[in-house]
Amino acid sequence: MAPLNLRQSSSTAQTLSSSSQDVRLLVRETIRISASLASAPSSPANSTIPPTLPAALESKNLRLGLVEDEYIDSNLRLICCEEIDGRRWKYVAENDSFGKLKKGSIRSVSLQTPLSPTDELVSFIRSYVVPEGFPDSVSPSYVPYMTWRALKHFFGGAMGVFTTQTLLTSVGVSRSRATPGAVAINWILKDGAGRVGKMLFARQGKKFDYDLKQLRFSGDLLMELGAGIELATAAMPNLFLPLACAANVAKNVGAVTSTSTRTPIYKAFAKGENIGDVTAKGECVGNIADLLGTGLSIMLSKRNPSLVTTFAFLSCGYVLSSYQEVKSVVLHTLNRARFTVAVDSFIKTGRVPSLKEGNLKESVFSFPWVHDSSVQLGCKFKDAFQDPGLYIALEPLFERERYVVTYNPVKNKVCALLKDQAKPEDILKAAFHGYVLNYSIRSSVKKQSASGKKCGHDYLGTIAMPGNIESLVAESCKMVSSTYGLFKYKAAEQGWVMSESLLNPGRARLCPE
């Protein structure tokens, strides 16, 4: 029997080719589904029913992060993964019939279950009141600082309603005896006086850097003083202009301190390059608290509460919040106050306090413009020495140093004079030496007081003898030479940053002859 010679037409060949391609696609899909079944969780041991195709697709949906109702076919391709604010996303795209990605077919798929309305609201609020990456993006002291800051703004906003209401009432009383033009002039003069006070206080300059906590708290006290003066206009409407001007000067000076110290404080909280984010969120928290306080105050004012009682309550809340706000700031730099705490702790215990401990012990009640009464750094020669012979006697002790330290019995303070070649390191060492000498003098006075041989003023008189001062300075030189390096090491170990500019040294320098 002769073999059959089958000839295929072109259409038949195309059909077979298409069938062959369909077979390949079917085989590919079968392999894909088999892989899905293999990766799916195994069924219980006592179950003999194999997973169905929908179950396999459901497993694939879970692995791709898709919702259950979305259909998955072989044309979807994973593009990339992305994380936004702790939430992860996958991006998938669709293939065309030629295996190429279709344009405009990218879809984002969340790998988390949808948030509840409450969680969505919390997430929305967090985006406005806390920096991105919170709490890892800020220091631990950020939360207590912002808590007290919000409370302070709450009381401040409430106080603003009563002070503004009082000022407007005072203007209304004055209007019966003055023309509207005179009232407008009074109001303009009041605002102008505040601007002048703001410009004059800006001269403090560098003090906003090395005494920012003290200035910040002093500024808040001035804000409350200004509010109290504004309320006084209700009792003395005929003195509206001078009282309003004085109040505006105090409040504008307080505003200068708040604005000038804001960035250094926020910088202490930021970790990395997120100072702008921290500042924006911090101001948002303050504004929200201010609005809440304003709203509460408006509701209270409708009941006509006692002005004195209301002011006393809000003022106490404002000052207390301001104090806690400032105390909660943890700065890494050693200014005069924190340097005093660190050196005193090191001399007494041999250890340097931690950042948190040193900041907590720092006094914020001392006014920045009041000089330290115990140690004066970079003072003038005439303020340090009353006896030239004492300088001649002490000069050899500091021949290798770029500073000279002594004690002035008339002013009862230790003076550190800086030489012309003094560098930042020398200024820091001079400050350390000054506090060591001050501690030695105080300890000597206490020992003599405990001995009971002398009384009162005679103790300082004994210390003030040139020979005694020379011996105490010589003893302090030995102590400084053996402990200053250790102090620096332990301070750096605790995370402290020392800067001579923050110690506010005077400009006087000892020049060579």
With a CB cutoff of 8 Å and minimum separation 6, the contacts of 98 are none
C-alpha 288/C-alpha 34 separation (Å) is 57
- Tokens at 335, concatenated: 């200014």
pLDDT in tens, 246-268: 888 888 888 888 888 888 888 88
Q: Can you give the pTM of this predicted structure?
A: 0.65
Check residues 153 and 115 and name the one with the higher pLDDT. Answer: 153
Domains of the chain: 140-328 (1.20.1250.20), 336-448+465-494 (no CATH)
C-alpha 487/C-alpha 469 separation (Å) is 24
Whether the per-residue pLDDT at 59 is higher than 70: the answer is no
Contact, 79 vs 91, CB < 8 A? Answer: yes
Check residues 342 and 307 and name the one with the higher pLDDT. Answer: 342
What pLDDT score was predicted for residue 9? Answer: 45
Task: Grade residue 317 by pLDDT with cuts at 50, 70 and 90.
Answer: very high
For range 44-64, the mean pLDDT:
42
The proportion of the chain whose per-residue pLDDT surpasses 90, expressed as a percent, equals 20
pLDDT in tens, 350-399: 999 999 999 999 988 876 556 556 888 988 888 888 778 888 889 899 99
- Give me the half-sphere count of Cα atoms (radius 13 Å) on the Cβ side of residue 198: 17
What pLDDT score was predicted for residue 50? Answer: 45
What pLDDT score was predicted for residue 379? Answer: 87
DSSP output for 273-312: S-HHHHHHHHHHHHHHHHHHHHHHHHHHHTT---HHHHHH
- Other beta carbons within 10 angstroms of residue 191's beta carbon come to 12
For range 418-432, the mean pLDDT:
91
Check residues 303 and 173 and name the one with the higher pLDDT. Answer: 303
Task: Grade residue 8 by pLDDT with cuts at 50, 70 and 90.
Answer: very low
- Tokens at 298, concatenated: 């408006």
DSSP helix/strand/coil, 421: coil
With a CB cutoff of 8 Å and minimum separation 6, the contacts of 150 are 285, 286, 288, 289
Point out the least confidently predicted range of 42-51, 115-124, 147-156, 180-189: 42-51
